[in-house]
Amino acid sequence: MGRLEGRAALVTGAARGIGAAIARRFAGEGARVCVADLDGDAAAGTASGLPGESYGVSLDVSDRESVDRVVEEAAERHGSLDVLVNNAGVTHDNLLFRMTDEEWASVMDVHLAGAFYCCRAAQRYMVDGGYGRIVNISSTSALGNRGQANYSTAKAGLQGFTKTLAAELGRFGITANAVAPGFIETEMTRTTAARLGYEDFEEFAALRAKEIPVGRGGRPEDVAAAALFFASEEASFISGQVLYAAGGPKA
Ligand code: NAD
């Protein structure tokens, strides 16, 4: 029996990268997963490779109406909404003096407003069901990272948001926790490597791995393993926590 047998999950930004790995892991553990992503076709493609009754859907988490509709559809289609993973994310890196209002706002919209809209929409169904698991994907950038004033602010904000959700929703059987990944090899870090002038991603990844105590870069599956723990029934007494999945210690 899978660790999420009979559970219905919604994972945002799940067409590729970390979100897709979480969707795969959850489906492999018996969950029916709504694979939601800005790129609806890619989301459908990812969902088609999953076992069970998972499906893909187009969703812009920064669009409140779209969030309300997709969350409602997911809860109706699967009969409940037990697990929400706020994973959708973007980077628009720049040094502070060059950062535009648009770069600041778009990162806030996706990470912070997006997680807020999704949690507010989902908690209704979780409260009704007397059960819920919310997992927010933060980052080691929450501790500060050059070129990421917008992103590090959003990822630190998500940690405060997570703790507040834990305080408010615990009495309804709902836990909220955050996973804060370090360097994970995905399209997002390929974009970072290109921005920093690396033509060869492997060279960038090898340099990053040298700074990581376990001696390798992270894989999307490493984050999925941490998300699965928080999403599972057995984690019912753990709420408001931030787990750094970074191959070494972080504050
Ligand atoms: P990725 O770029 O490979 O995937 C992000 C996904 O989110 C894409 O499929 C994209 O279409 C989707 N998305 C973007 N904006 C969206 C929106 N408005 N609505 C819905 N979907 C949207 O990135 P990833 O590396 O897999 O990152 C996933 C999450 O993990 C992000 O929140 C990211 O900030 C976080 N994270 C990544 C790393 C890393 O090293 N890769 C480290 C720490 C945290």
pLDDT digits (tens, 9 = 90+) for 118-143: 999 999 999 999 999 999 999 999 99
| Pocket perturbation via mutation, ligand 1, pick of 18, 66, 207 by most ligand atoms within 8 A of CB | 18
Q: Which residues are catalytic, by number?
A: 151
Q: Whose CA is nearest to atom 6 of ligand 1?
A: 13
pTM of the model: 0.99
104 phi, psi to nearest 5 deg: -65, -55
CA distance 141 to 161: 16
What integer pLDDT is reported at residue 107 of this predicted model? 98
What integer pLDDT is reported at residue 165 of this predicted model? 99
pLDDT one-digit tens code per residue, 67-123 = 999 999 999 999 999 999 999 999 999 999 999 999 999 999 999 999 999 999 999
Q: Which two tokens stand for residue 63?
A: 């669009």
Residues with CB under 6 A from ligand 1: 12-13, 15-19, 37-39, 59-62, 87-90, 110, 114, 137, 139, 181, 183-184, 186-189
Q: What CATH topology corresponds to 8-182+221-245?
A: Rossmann fold (3.40.50)
What integer pLDDT is reported at residue 251 of this predicted model? 72
Expressed in angstroms and rounded, the spacing between residue 18 Cα and the centre of ligand 1 is 7
Expressed in angstroms and rounded, the spacing between residue 13 Cα and the centre of ligand 1 is 6
Give residue limits of the domains in the chain.
Answer: 8-182+221-245, 185-217
Amino acid sitting at position 103? E
Please report which confidence band the pLDDT of residue 217 belongs to, taking 50, 70 and 90 as the band edges: very high
CA distance 246 to 238: 20
Residue with tokens 């800005």: 38
Q: Please, are residues 155 and 138 in contact by the beta-carbon 8 Å criterion?
A: yes
Expressed in angstroms and rounded, the spacing between residue 85 Cα and the centre of ligand 1 is 12
Q: Whose CA is nearest to atom 41 of ligand 1?
A: 184
CA distance 22 to 27: 8
The alpha carbon dihedral of 49, 116, 154, 107 has a sign of positive
Ligand 1 atom nearest to CA at 61: 19
Average pLDDT in the chain: 98
Expressed in angstroms and rounded, the spacing between residue 193 Cα and the centre of ligand 1 is 15
